[in-house]
Every structure is written in structure tokens, then in C-alpha cells.
Structure 1
Amino acid sequence: MTGPIINGAALLIGSVAGAIIGPKLNNNIRTRMPMVFGCASMGLGVAMIVKVKLLAPVMLALVVGSLLGEIIQLETLIQNSASKARVIIEKLTRPSADMGQEEFLDKFVALLVLFCMSGTGIYGAMTEGMTGDPTLLIVKSILDLFTAPIFASTMGFTVGILVLPQFIVQGLLFAGATMILPLTTPDMLADFSSCGGLIMLATGFRICGIKQFPVANMIPALLLVMPLSYLWAHYLI
């Protein structure tokens, strides 16, 4: 399980480094670089969206999955957990900078999706589990190593907490890849990538402060898109 370990280490190292050197960073770097990372997230999202094979099940998965997320209030649950984690960590360390609670929670949720639920991370973990090739996750690790310090410079050590859900998600996908991938088709994987791209696009808008999409509530769509793609291809067309 090389990829998830390397990715987790990169995120943790970047978060700790950013929290430590944060006060020394130029203010322009701290405020402008997140917009660059948001732009990168949008670009990656667009690149993934164009892989779509069956648009209808992707849209259906996004709508139904987001509705389920709203019903169970997934984003609220994540925000509450993040708020508690911030309080605990700031008792043990220095405050995570002069950032309001609402702004902190908005960014935390966006980073959760960016680091833990991106198509690159999910597909990379599945690919390594099936083929033993960790290349995709190593590439993601390089990006995370430079992304995490910028956000940690204003949000503190709390960003490092994201190592836990990231490793859990990637570890489960790695372990289950031998069972998941044989049941998929190239079209199903393409639609999965497209659905993840839509969420990544929304994440980029949120990081840049353009529009506060409920990205965490959209995550259940990733669980629905491949089954819906299969059913649509075999029974509706």
C-alpha cells in the first residue's frame, strides 16, 4: 500500500511545515496561492468531466447523491467534527491564525474533498490495489505536499487531521480494488471520473470563494454513479 502511505506522509509533512512557517510567509502568498490551487482543482475537474460516456446517469447520480447528502446533512456533520477538532488542536498548539469560524469550516470542507475525495486519489488507490502501480498517488502526493502548507499557514495544524480520512478512504479502496475493478467497465470508470470531475469543479469554485457549493453533500454521488452507469447502459439504451 505504497501510494496511500506516501500521500498521507506528504499531506502530514506539508501541513506541519505550513503551520510552523505560516507567520513567516508573505501575506500575498497565503492569500493568493489558494486561488491558484482552486483554479487547478477546476482545471482537473474539467479534464475529468470530458471523459464522460453516458451523461444521463452521471447527472442522475449527482442530483440523487447530493439530495441524499442534504437529507443526512453530511456537510454539517463534517463541519461539526472539524469545529471540535479545531478546538482540541488549538488547545495543544498555537491558534490557527485569525480566521473566523465560518470561513474556517468552509475551507475545511473544501479541503476534505480536495485531499480525500478527489478523482485522482480514489482512482489512484483503486489502480494501485489492482495493478500495484502507485504512480497516480505519487503524483497526487507531490501536489498535496505543496498545497497543504499554504492552507495550513492560515488554518494551522488542523489541516493535518485530513490525513486520517484520506488514508481510510484510500486504504479501503486499495483493499477493495480486487473486488471492485473486475465488476467495472471502461465506460463505468469514465463516468465515475466525470462525476468526480464535477465535484472537483465545484470544489475549485468554493476554494476561490466564487460560489459556496455544498461539496461534501455531493460526495454520495460517487457511490451511485457506477451502478447507475451500468444499469443505464444495459437496460435503458
Structure 2
Amino acid sequence: MIGPYVNGATVVAGSLAGAFLGSRMSRNLRERMPMVFGCASLGLGMAMVVKVQSLPPMVLALVLGSIFGELVHLETGIQKLATKARALIEKFAKPSGDLSHDEFLEKFVAIMVLFCVSGTGIFGAMSEGMTGDPTLLIVKAILDLFTSAIFAATLGYTVVTLVVPQFIIQTSLFFGAALIMPLTTPTMVADFSACGGLIMLATGFRICGIKQFPVANMIPSLFMVMPLSALWSRLLG
């Protein structure tokens, strides 16, 4: 297993460097580059959505997953953890940036989704688990190095805590790939990709400040889309 370690290391390095530089980094760079990352998230999302094979189960999974996320207040829980992490870290490190509490939480949740449940990370971890090829995760690591640095210049050292959920998710997918992939079909994988693409689109809109989608509450849909896709194919097949 190489990819999760490399990706985690770049997030830590980028976050520490960005938070250390803080306001010393160009204001234009800090304000404009997140828009570029948001645009990239939109583009990746669209590329993933067009892979859909069965639209009804994908949409149903997104709706049901989002409802579940709302009912259990998933995003609120993540925001509380982010607040605690920020308070703990700022006891030992000077805060970076001048964001309000609400602005901090909005951006933090958006980049958490970008780092932890992006299509590149999910499929990269599963691909390495099945084939031993870490290429996709290394590509993601290069992107995350710069993304984490730019966001950490504004959000501070708290960004480095995202390496924990990212590493857990990627290693779980790595070790679970050998068990999961034989049970899937190309249609199931395509619908899973499309569902993740919609979440990436919502993340891009949020990072760009266009619309504050509850992206964290949409995450449970990723666990529902494959079973629903399989059920849909079985009923129609």
C-alpha cells in the first residue's frame, strides 16, 4: 500500500506550509485559487456524472442518502468536530486568516468532501487494492499538496486534521476492494461514479460560493447507490 501514505503525506505537508505562510501568501493567490479548485471539482463532477448507466437508482440513492444525512445531522456533527479541532489546534498555533466562524465551517466541510470522498480518491484506493497500481492516488496527492496549502493559508492548521478521515477511507477501500469489486458490475460502478460526481458538482458550487449545498449530508448516498443499482438491474433484467 503506497497511495494512501503518499496522499496523506502531501496533505500534511501542504497544510503545514500553507498555515505557516498564512497572510504572507499573496492575497490574490489565497482568494482566487480556491475558485480554480472549485472549477476543477465541477469539471471532475461532470466527467463522472456522464458515466451513469441507470439514472433512476442513482437519483433515488442521492435523495434517500441526503434525507438520511439530514435526519442524523451529519454535516452538523462534522461542523462540531471541526470547531473542536480548530479550538484545540489554536491553543498551540496562531490562527491563520480572518474568516468568521460560519465561513470557516462552510469551507472546511467543502474541502473535507473534496479530500476524502472525491472520485479520484475512491477509485484510486480501490484500483490500488485490486491491481497494486498507486498512480491515481499519486496524481491526487500532487493536486492535494497545492489545494491543502492554499486552503490552509486561510483556514489555518486545522486543515491538517483532514488527513485522518482521508487515510481511514482510503485504507478501508484499499483493503476492501478485493472483497467489494468481485460483487459489482460495470453498471453498479458507473452509477456509483455518477453519484459521486453529483456530490463533486455540489462541492464545486460550494467552494466557488455559488450555492451552499449540504454536501456532507449527501455522503450516505454513496453507500446506497450500488445496492439500489443492483436491485434496479435485477428487477428490469
TM-score, with length taken from structure 1: 0.99
User: Is the aligned partner of 1:11 residue 2:11?
Assistant: yes
Q: Which residue number corresponds to residue 129 of structure 1?
A: 129
Gaps of 5+ in 1: none
The more displaced of 95-104 and 43-52 is 95-104
CA distance in structure 2 between the partners assigned to 1:153 and 1:96 by the alignment = 6
The amino acid that maps onto 2:14 is: G
Q: Which residue number corresponds to residue 174 of structure 1?
A: 174
Q: Which residue number corresponds to residue 98 of structure 2?
A: 98
By how many angstroms is 1:176 displaced? 0.7
Q: Which residue number corresponds to residue 35 of structure 1?
A: 35
Q: Which residue number corresponds to residue 221 of structure 1?
A: 221
Q: How many residue pairs were aligned?
A: 237
Q: Secondary structure at the match of 1:92?
A: coil
Structure 1 runs, 4 residues or longer, greater than 4 Å off: none
The amino acid that maps onto 1:54 is: S
Q: Which residue number corresponds to residue 21 of structure 1?
A: 21
Q: Which residue number corresponds to residue 48 of structure 2?
A: 48
By how many angstroms is 1:153 displaced? 0.3
Q: Secondary structure at the match of 2:90?
A: helix
Over the residues paired in the alignment, what is the CA RMSD in angstroms? 0.7
% identical equivalent positions: 67
Q: Map Cα deviations across residues 148-179 of structure 1 (whole Å, 9 max, x no partner).
A: 11000011110000000000000111111110
Q: Which residue number corresponds to residue 189 of structure 1?
A: 189
The amino acid that maps onto 2:24 is: K
By how many angstroms is 1:125 displaced? 0.6
By how many angstroms is 1:25 displaced? 1.1
Aligned partners of 1:90 and 1:96 also within 8 Å: no
The amino acid that maps onto 1:146 is: F
CA distance in structure 1 between the partners assigned to 2:49 and 2:8 by the alignment = 26
By how many angstroms is 1:104 displaced? 0.3
The amino acid that maps onto 2:22 is: G
CA distance in structure 1 between the partners assigned to 2:124 and 2:188 by the alignment = 16
Q: Which residue number corresponds to residue 111 of structure 1?
A: 111
Q: Which residue number corresponds to residue 61 of structure 1?
A: 61
The amino acid that maps onto 1:31 is: E
CA distance in structure 1 between the partners assigned to 2:9 and 2:187 by the alignment = 33
Q: Map Cα deviations across residues 109-144 of structure 1 (whole Å, 9 max, x no partner).
A: 001100001111011111111111111111100110
By how many angstroms is 1:4 displaced? 0.4
Q: Secondary structure at the match of 2:94?
A: coil
Q: Which residue number corresponds to residue 236 of structure 1?
A: 236
CA distance in structure 2 between the partners assigned to 1:222 and 1:111 by the alignment = 17
CA distance in structure 1 between the partners assigned to 2:224 and 2:96 by the alignment = 36
Gaps of 5+ in 2: none
By how many angstroms is 1:96 displaced? 2.4
The amino acid that maps onto 2:140 is: K
The amino acid that maps onto 1:58 is: M
The more displaced of 22-31 and 73-82 is 22-31
CA distance in structure 1 between the partners assigned to 2:96 and 2:72 by the alignment = 29
